[in-house]
Every structure is written in structure tokens, then in C-alpha cells.
Homo-oligomer: A and B are copies of this chain.
Amino acid sequence: MKSASAGPPTLRHVAQASQVSESTVSKIVNRTKRFSPEVERRVQAAVAELGYTPNPHARSVITGRSRTIGVVVADVLNPHFALLIKGVGSVARARGYTVLLTDSDEDSDLEAELLGTLIPRVDGLIVAPRLEAQVVAQFARLKPLALTARPSDLARRQALGEALTFGVDGFQTGQMIGHYLAQGGHRHVSYLHLAQADDDRLRGLEAALGGQGIRCTVHRSAEPSIEGGLRAATAMLLGEDRPDAVVTYNDLMALGVLAEARKFGFEVPRDFSLVGVDDIPYAALTSPPLTTVRTYSREIGVQLAEALLDRIEGVDRLAPTPPTPQLMVRGSSAPRQYEAAPVGRG
């Protein structure tokens, strides 16, 4: 029974209750040293009795570590990030860490602000950055950072300095989509790009299409969301020279395009093929179900967290191989048949 003292019980209270020194209690609580059964019993009893919990802040002041990692994503509402968070969380919990999560709302300035407030509180950070590489690199000098980006381009990777980077290859992702569309006889692809994002996907797509002489029109949006897709759809679909394939930076945008296209009276994939990226859970449930590239969001989160915690704890493990993106062909895309005579189906 705790007497009418202010605040929660401290080490001192446990020490007094069990008639030992504070350091003894500390060592028992932290299992950092063994004591006689008698003493251990008494201390454990007092801990239970008082409901003692160590003050993690006090501990951090001394050790300089907080057993906390920060996560900064652009939008928790995006299932890609939500899955990443879940991956990070499961690893963190298993290894005894707490997660400090923040949502930058797709705003770079806010992202920088959040990084600033998180850094003094955490042992390391996992970031899906919208900030430029140089700025991120500055933060990477203060605390270990693990980034989801995986720039194919060496210069940019070096700009990130000491930060770990890990993620599905963007160039490869774009390339897969390009090859697939080329093979399907498409002649004009519109890509809905995320304004502040890496150009990896775009370059991969263009590389694959360019060789085949297929046109690629690029549209930009600042919002990698359903709304972004909705808003961009008009420009993409209602201009003259309509594309026969639309590729979007991510699935959310694709869902937006799909909804808006339906409103305009288009039918997918009859009027154009639609391809997203991420394979969020909703992608398989639309009608038609969305063709997309699986980016293994959860796995990326797991591997980022493992790598970050390894670095924090000084464990020298081999860097894991990132998953290979996988094209999920579904109903929203179909081959074009421009010169085929109108012979029924197939």
C-alpha cells in the first residue's frame, strides 16, 4: 500500500520498503546483477506491492538512450504507410522499443519540424522522406536514420550520407510497368507523377517505353492521394489525344482516377488501361480490380526497423536484400488491339 506521497513510487521507496540500497534495487530490476534469493524476493515483493515502474526518462538521462524510435511518414491514411508502420511496430515491440509516430501531412516543412522535435527523444528514426536528400542528410548526422527511399541514382544515394536506405527499387518498378504496357500494344502512356518524389519510377517507365517508341506524357500532382487522382483525372483524360494507358505514382491516385473516369463515362480497361503502385488492400477490391505493382510495404517496415535497431545497438549484420517488386495483373488493364479486324473476342 502506497502512502499519501506525491507521484508514483520511485526506486527509493522500493529500497526503503525492502530494506536494501537503491543500487541493489536498480540492479535487480534491470537484471544486471544477481543477489541472494532472500533479497531478490523482498525486492520483487516491494516492487509488486508498490506497483513500481522505472521512470524511463530518468533512465534515458543517464544512459543517453531512450529505447524509442521515431517514425515519420507523409500520411498514415495511405495504407502503404500504415502497413509500413505495422511492420516497424512489430519489430520494435519484439526488441523492446517504443515507437514515436508522426504524420507530416505531405508537407516538407512540417516534416523537418517533426524530425527536429523527434531527434532528441529517440535513438533512431525511420523516415519516408519528402524532404530533399541534403536536408535529410543533415538530420542523419545527429541520429541514425533509415529511409524508405531507394534511389537508383548513385549521386543521390551519396547525398544521403550516413543514412541507411532501403526499399523496393523505383526504377525497376517503373520498368516493369513499361514493359508490361509495351507488350500489351499500348501506344500512349500518361504517367501521373508525384511532384516532390524521386524520379526513379518515371525514369524506369520512360526507359522501358522509349525503346519501343511509345509516347509517355507526364502529369504532376502534389497529392499522392485519392483526391490527387480525382483532380488530375480531368487533365489526363479529357484533353485531346487521350492516352490508352494511365499509370499513377501510387494506388490511391489510381483509385481517384478510376472513380473520376467512371463519372466521365469511361470504361476501364476498355477505354484505357490503369496501373497503380503498392498493391494496397483496396486495390484488389475495386471493379475492375486494379493492376498494380506490389511494393511489400509491411516487409519494408520490418527490414528498415531491423536494420535501424541493428545499427543503434551496434550489431553488424548483413544488409538484407530488398524485396523485388511484383506486377499484379488484374482487370484494370488489357492489351490493345489497334489493327486487328473486328473479330469478336479472342
A residues adjacent to B (C-beta < 8 A): 7-8, 53-58, 60-61, 64, 66, 68, 76-77, 79, 82-83, 85-86, 89, 98-103, 105, 116-121, 142, 226, 255, 258-259, 262, 281-282, 284-287
Given A53-B120, A120-B53, A281-B226, CB of A89 within 8 Å of CB of B61 = no
A282 contacts which chain B residues (CB < 8 A)?
255, 282
CB distance from A251 to the nearest CB of B (A): 11
Is B86 a contact partner of A103 (Cβ separation < 8 A)?
yes
Is B285 a contact partner of A287 (Cβ separation < 8 A)?
no
CB distance from A210 to the nearest CB of B (A): 33
A100 contacts which chain B residues (CB < 8 A)?
68, 98-101
A323 to B281, CA, bound (A): 29
Identical chains bound together, number: 2
A284 contacts which chain B residues (CB < 8 A)?
259
A56 to B60, CA, bound (A): 10
A82 to B83, CA, bound (A): 12
A258 contacts which chain B residues (CB < 8 A)?
285
Is A82 a contact partner of B89 (Cβ separation < 8 A)?
no
Is A262 a contact partner of B287 (Cβ separation < 8 A)?
yes
A226 to B99, CA, bound (A): 26
A53 to B122, CA, bound (A): 13
Is B53 a contact partner of A61 (Cβ separation < 8 A)?
no
A103 contacts which chain B residues (CB < 8 A)?
85-86, 89
Chain B residue with Cβ nearest A70: B98
A68 to B68, CA, bound (A): 13
A89 contacts which chain B residues (CB < 8 A)?
102-103
Pick from B54, B61, B255: contact of A120, CB under 8 Å = B54
CB distance from A282 to the nearest CB of B (A): 5
A79 contacts which chain B residues (CB < 8 A)?
77
Which of A55, A86, A100, A101 gathers the greatest number of chain B CB atoms within 10 Å? A101
